[in-house]
Structure 1
Amino acid sequence: MPDLDNRLARSRSALLDEIEQPPMADVRRRASRIRRRRAATAGAAALALLGVIAIGARPWQQDTAPTVTATDPPAIAPVYRGGGIEIVGLAPESVHDLDGEIADVEFTDPAHGIAVAGCDRNCAPPATTEDGGRSWHQVPMAPVSTGPADVTAFPGGHWLLTGDGAQFSSPSGVGWTASTPPAPTTRDLIGPGELPAVDRAGGPLVVRSWNHGTLGPLATQPDLSVRWVAPAVAADGAWWVGGVSGTAPAVAVSRDAGRHWKTTTLSAPMGDVRTVAIGTLGTEVYAVATGDGGALLGIYHSVDGGRGFAPTYLASTGAPTTSERVPQTVAGDPVPLLDGRLLLVQRWGAPSSWWVSEDAGANFVPVTGLPAAGEIRRTYAGYVAYDLFESAWAAFSTDGSNWQKLQLS
């Protein structure tokens, strides 16, 4: 008789099959229309603005928050647009002082997030938001940490905070409880509400829960040295990890909660691969291989859910590329956009940090008009852009195209 997990997995698959999803082509057409509409609006606004003022410097080149000019209504948030991407700036409301540079921001759903500051000792309390980052509040009854902290978002709005050899769990971001991990035991699968992780690059893939932390290694390990782990399950229920197999870039996927893994070794570029980050959207999967300093070494694309990959860009030398058709380096994770393009960020790049490709990563165009960014990192419910304006600002997006600058400093 099949066990409960197998019955639940089949029931989930059957339910997903019964839910009518909009075709990806329809989603892309709508996203492309929105992008064209934004471009037209931005062009009209720019012409009107040039008719009444002279621009001395671009606001996105400033190291501080852009100035909000009083208008009628009294004040509005500035909006930065380029290449179909929109970033809503700071609102006139007060900005929460995190008492330290933003080190880690995680969202468990589009509304609820938590942020921690980088610190060496006497760390400031984390802050939480319930409106997608527009307002923040200091965490009540915050755990005390004497060193750098890391926060992980789990399904259902749960959180795990680790740092200085201690860990604290919370079902909602308030009322934190000190938690002691149990004795490690081998895990057969990634259970409901749990996440896979690695405690160190190249280490075994382990399972974590929000209330107990690391539970133990998976019984079946992917056949590669894991350097990157997806912070959330893909829409089709697959778990993805990236890394290296020998010296070649490789990815692995599990479609049965970690019981079995399929590893794909990718075409080897010139240069030493340090990590492989993955982005998924529908049946499309991107893998981006980087080397020392984030040097872009390879981009790989799958149109069938990762069953087969084709290289769209391979570096011909081990040094950062000097080609103008791709960014020299990549900081963080790839972002597949709803309109079919791929977004990568080059740390404080010139002429732009933001690069988009319309041909699956073979060629990119730098997007001007957007603030400089340090990196993009995937979080459970979307993406976080760090070090905006070459300063300690951040923004959040659920889709990579629409961003909200966080009222947080």
Structure 2
Amino acid sequence: MNTALAPAEVGAIRADFPSLEQEVNGHPLAYLDSGATSLKPRQVLDAEREFYERHNSAVHRGAHTLAALATERFEDARATVARFIGAAEDEVVWTSNATEAINLVAYGISAASARGGADAVSLRAGDEIVVTEQEHHANLIPWQELAARTGATLRFIPVDDAGELMLDRLDETITERARVVAFTHVSNVLGSISPVDRIVARAREVGAITVLDACQSVPHMAVDVASLDVDFMAFSGHKMLAPTGIGVLYGRRELLNALPPFLTGGSMITTVTMERAEYLPAPQRFEAGTQRVSQAIALAAAIDYLEAIGMHRIAAHEATLGVRLADGLAAIEGVRMLGPRADAERVGLASVDVAGIHSHDVGQFLDDRGIAARVGHHCAQPLHRRLGVTSSTRASTYIYTTEEEVDRFIEAIADSRDFFGVRP
């Protein structure tokens, strides 16, 4: 069933989120910052609390009952994530967040290159790493550092004046020298959806591995790694109803096992002597130390919550809100919406530049009306620079967002020009 959520259904969902019961500056809270971090429903909070109250123990270490129960729930959570994205359980690595997951891959490639490791995950001088001009810093800076360490060259697929990827440059950017192609699934600034199939197909032609930043897609739409055919994919739990401190790296089994470990210590070894150590296969080889047990269990609860609603219905709901946002903002004089035109495919996210007003001032004006939105460069300075702005104001929706809240945002953006006296 792919129909969007009815208003009554959204109302029932909102009742699960304690944060939405409050007022801010005398107004009902309109939380339009889910692209930064989502709110948490009671069901997820309860799942984490129950673990600490009843099953708290270190995993993979004890032989007592609580340790066995904790380990079972911890690995059940991994199985839930694997099923959710269409992966095998041993292809799901727990991390603290998506940033760590991407750094894990970049560092692993760097270490493999230094050791003369498998060609599939090694770089040398003259090789190329390709990103896009849309990237969040978390999917740009690790590759800058990897290029510096290995002597590889960093290249990027440019965007046009609207921020859309210039796909006519695909073949000339992803050349036969490309070894890694890293790109975002959904832009956290523009709300645009990347043509994963075209980019992956070109990477396959030249034998490059692909790394997908799925932070803004996995929480909002059905994502299947087999269909996408990517080699690695990263996303964060806190953007999809789960707590902070839990992220996921998906990696093809053979590629994960070709990478040296990112962190070393306990829980990721088979044999240790005073001279050397031997490591477990993935995913445990990347999970040194005390694990994020309660957070992983809460992430599984968040996935159960989302699946009960239906990812296709969530995507339809947010697409409707995205169109409403784009249409409303496009009609306001002096307001420039960054990214694709109003009628283009997008998620429920939009960033704007209000002529004559700094985004921080716009954000304060919104906050005075009880509207929580993101301001700044959204960890995407190169993209903002390419579009000729230093910062923007972003509204991002989720399952609990109503049409009325979107309309409040649009009205407040329009009113901000009068308030700051910048109308012509």
Q: Same fold (TM over 0.5)?
A: no
Normalising to structure 1: TM-score of the pair? Answer: 0.25
The higher-RCO structure (CA 8 Å, 6+ apart) is: 2
